[in-house]
Chain A
């Protein structure tokens, strides 16, 4: 109990015991080390701006993809498997935080494409209905052969999810042959679906601003009277 109350200042209600831990991206370690250096040399300044991302903010979170836990249906999907579901639990974002950035980072592993000759298009869509087929295509990205990492701006989507948590049903990532939106055309990555999917890693980088720490920054847009 004491430990929990001691952690309260970190916004935690119990000692975290994450089952799986994602690797720490170098950008976060870089930001951390720069801040430590600034604090050690006495150049402590109110950290309400993340210059590495170019946005105001004092709290940076990298959300772990919980898609595999929340979309067992994709396990049933037989090859060709060209879809992967992603889900991010945003419930830890508190009401007094203002969303300043939300960026989806997709890392597409090499192995999934070895046997595929054609260039691929990656489609990231918001799951909107109970059915697994997404209604809205967010981003149609053409994935050149050499590109392995995609960044997708999801700020508007995450704001919607944060203000209306029921609407957060996750995302679907689909691979299609280039220039062919007909998803009946199939691509057969090597091996089984799980083999293909494990080489697609997603995480969501979110920056928020808490006005308690950073009163100077623009407040929430006030509701017009």
Chain B
């Protein structure tokens, strides 16, 4: 397929972008004891077919993007988290009990076309 002439410049390509979740900003600081905030990322950017091999993309992302070049109704692959990690949280519940629990999938470590 011919590649679109307007190939995305690198800054529009799928990548992770730093984000800090601050519970005071969310208005949750009254019941979340710790952490007060934590660093994570969000995923944003284009998944053009030509550069798919540079991303830790999945096979179906290749095929889906290939299909997009033939039938535009099929969307390109999306820029999504490909590696997550967890954090522990210390917080109050509505009865005033204190809970310490580990929550999976809270931090985005890596992004890719999926």
Residues of A within 8 A of B (CB): 9-12, 14-22, 24-25, 28-29, 31-32, 35-36, 39, 44, 47, 58-64, 66, 89, 92, 213
Contact = CB atoms under 8 A, between A and B. Distances in A.
Give the bracket for the number of chain B residues in contact with chain A: 20 to 34
Contacts of B97: 61-64, 89, 92
B75 interface: no
**Chain B interface, >50% SS class:** strand
**Chain A interface, >50% SS class:** loop
A10 B91 contact: yes
Contacts, number: 87
Given A16-B31, A44-B85, A58-B102, A28 B93 contact: no
A36 B35 contact: yes
B107 to A, nearest CB: 8
24 contacts: A10-B103, A15-B28, A16-B91, A17-B30, A17-B31, A18-B31, A20-B96, A22-B96, A22-B98, A24-B33, A24-B98, A31-B100, A32-B34, A32-B100, A36-B87, A39-B85, A39-B88, A44-B86, A47-B102, A59-B99, A61-B97, A62-B98, A64-B98, A89-B95
Nearest to A91: B95
B43 to A, nearest CB: 18
Contact of B92 (A21, A47, A59): A21
A10 B96 CA distance: 15
Contacts of A17: 30-31, 94
A18 B95 contact: yes
Given A18-B31, A28-B98, A12 B93 contact: yes
